[in-house]
Chain A
Amino acid sequence: MNTSDLDGRRVGLYAVLFGLVAFYLLPLEIGLVTSLKTDPLASLPFAPPAAGSFTLEEWGRAFTALKSGLVNSLLLAVPATILSAGLGSMAAYGLTTLQWRGQVGVFTLFIAGIFIPYQAVLLPVSRFWATYAPLEEWLAVLWLLPGLEAYHGELLSLIITHVAYGIPICTLLFRTYYKELSGEMVEAAKLDGATAYTIYRRVILPLSVPMFAVTLIYQFTQIWNDLLFALVIMGPGDGAPVTVGLTNIGSSLTNLGFGVKMAGAFIAALPTMVVYVLFGEQFAEGVAS
């Protein structure tokens, strides 16, 4: 009686769990098999490619179309992520661990920054970069250097925009974390002769690793997936990141391009998954703290 009762509950539990797995994985499975078929409309969406219709051609085409976008996205997302996390950490240290007059007011400004919607700043930001701070013209001499192109100036504008937008949320995350650190430990470091800077570098920064994992994953995903700022600030030019490239893919072809679109989506999403896998453990630790 008792054991059968338990078995009944177990069966129910596993049924629900398998249902959830299917719910989450089915779209991915459909995307994957669609990208591998020569004619996606010839068979059911979730059926694997039939013997004669398997192809990697769509992946090849998608990769060729997105290659420069991938490079641009990496050039954009890696520095922007590191800068926003690093600056957020420093700002949080200055606003939390150090004591000075007026810090509450400054922190309030940071918090307000989190709640400014993208749409509200689109026009001012594009005007700012186009009219008031045309980095492409200002740094013109740099583009003569080998390996650098004029569109890198646009990428730089985008990096700065993303960093500015990312600092408030990073600061908030780090501040929450730093508040939990022992105040006596910081005082001990002060008595040990450490300056505000060495306390940050030798005590606070090494202890921030879990929170860096959280902010790096979060910011990288945000910046990598952003389409709005990329479209408004640079449009579909040479410097366009992968998200902009993805919107164009398949549209110029005669067929509907399901396969190449699916393959492109996978290619564009891959780096964010790699980041999750790399920092997953520290991420869990950071979220748990």
Chain B
Amino acid sequence: MAELVLDGVTKHFDDDGDRIVAVDDASIDIEDGEFLVLVGPSGCGKSTTLRMVAGLETVSGGELRLDGTDISDRAPADRDVAMVFQSYALYPHMTVRENMAFGLEESTDMADDVIDERVSETAEMMGIEELLERKPRELSGGQQQRVALGRAIVRDPEVFLMDEPLSNLDAKLRSTMRTELQRLQENLGVTTVYVTHDQTEAMTMGDRIAILNDGRLQQVATPLEAYHAPANEFVAGFLGEPSMNFFDASVEDGSLITDQFTYPLSEDTLDDLGGADDVRLGVRPEDIELVEKPVGDHDYAVTVDVVEPLGDENNVYLEFDLDTEGEGAGRTFTAAVDGTHPVAAGDELGARIPESAIHIFDVDSGVALHNRERDPDEQVIPQ
């Protein structure tokens, strides 16, 4: 059991004299037993970060500490970490038993019968004891995945590193394994760093999530905090499906003026803006309410463009009814409404954007100036 600290960890590659920064000054304190998810779009540096922790990439700057000891320069074998790879990376010529025993044989001086016993115990826990004598090619994708997990668990390491371990599974199996992996990690209590590009995995699995973009750490927070109080526009747009609606706006006379509409702000919200002139308004699709007719200050006349029924909810693409053919004409935005809500393309309705649900970001830096109001015991179930 161990606490893992990334202290200003940096990685750059030299490409013909050009320095390419893959990870820039990332600092995360991962507590003992914590499940941390590293999430971000492809090429954001999340895998590189994980590979640095594993020792498969050298660290260009900063320090990696495991329980206070600097491990930045240690060989992968001396770090007491186990990794689960996206491709599972099983040894194809070995049986499941040999695959699981390999790490113990190479990294410890345990007797063969002790190793054998530990492999059997772990296999039983993973429900793969009847596969022990088979070769990887005789296993299904889900079974290989379990073996790869078992191979990591049997080593009893200080830290688990997982690099998109579920991305090769079909959707149904993926959600089963998601739950199972969480349960396992909780029972074992081993510090885990999990890399994914899938925000559902990030939201549902992690104790905390660390969002990366362009090699920079954007925010480290609990899933709900990152979802409801994003540190910046990138985090707000990255989490949530369908993603948040953004509108460029300028602040005039206590209101937000966009190309399509004028949005009056309360004193409290205005205070948060701190005198900023150009901002970006953000609102999540599920926070937009559809009403029959626009009546209030925050209601706008819209026409339904397209409806995507998902069963439990409908994604509704709305278009503002504008008096003039201005710049903002034809701009659509998304609302997510209950699946039973009767709505069809061509309907003319009112869209209500409650002030309690809006986010406001600085246009240049993207930093969140104002985040939505939060119910202290809220629950979010993404998708």
Contacts and interface: CB of A to CB of B under 8 A. Distances in A.
Interface string B47-75: 00000001110000000000000000001
A207 B56 contact: no
A180 interface: no
B76 interface: yes
A188 interface: yes
A185 interface: yes
A203 B81 contact: no
A238 interface: no
Interface in B145-194: 151, 155
Contacts of A184: 85-87, 89
Interface residues of A, number: 16
Contacts, number: 61
B348 to A, nearest CB: 55
Interface string B72-106: 00011100011101110111110000000011001
A193 B85 CA distance: 16
Contacts of B82: 191
A179 interface: no
B107 A193 contact: yes
B87 A192 contact: no
A202 B81 contact: no
A189 B93 contact: no
B91 A189 contact: yes
A202 B105 CA distance: 11
Contact of A188 (B75, B89, B108): B89
A191 B54 contact: yes
Interface residues of B, number: 24
Nearest to B107: A193
A206 B103 contact: no
A9 interface: no
Nearest to A188: B89
Contacts of B86: 184
Contacts of A182: 87, 89
Contact of B106 (A185, A187, A198, A207): A198
B102 A189 contact: yes
Interface in B264-292: none
Given A188-B85, A192-B77, A207 B93 contact: yes
For the complex of A and B, the 6 pairs showing the least CB-CB separation, nearest first, are: A193-B107, A192-B103, A184-B89, A193-B106, A193-B77, A188-B89
21 contacts: A182-B89, A184-B86, A185-B87, A185-B92, A187-B54, A188-B85, A188-B89, A188-B151, A190-B75, A190-B77, A191-B55, A191-B76, A191-B81, A191-B82, A191-B83, A191-B103, A192-B106, A193-B107, A194-B102, A203-B91, A206-B93
Interface of B: 54-56, 75-77, 81-83, 85-87, 89-93, 102-103, 106-108, 151, 155
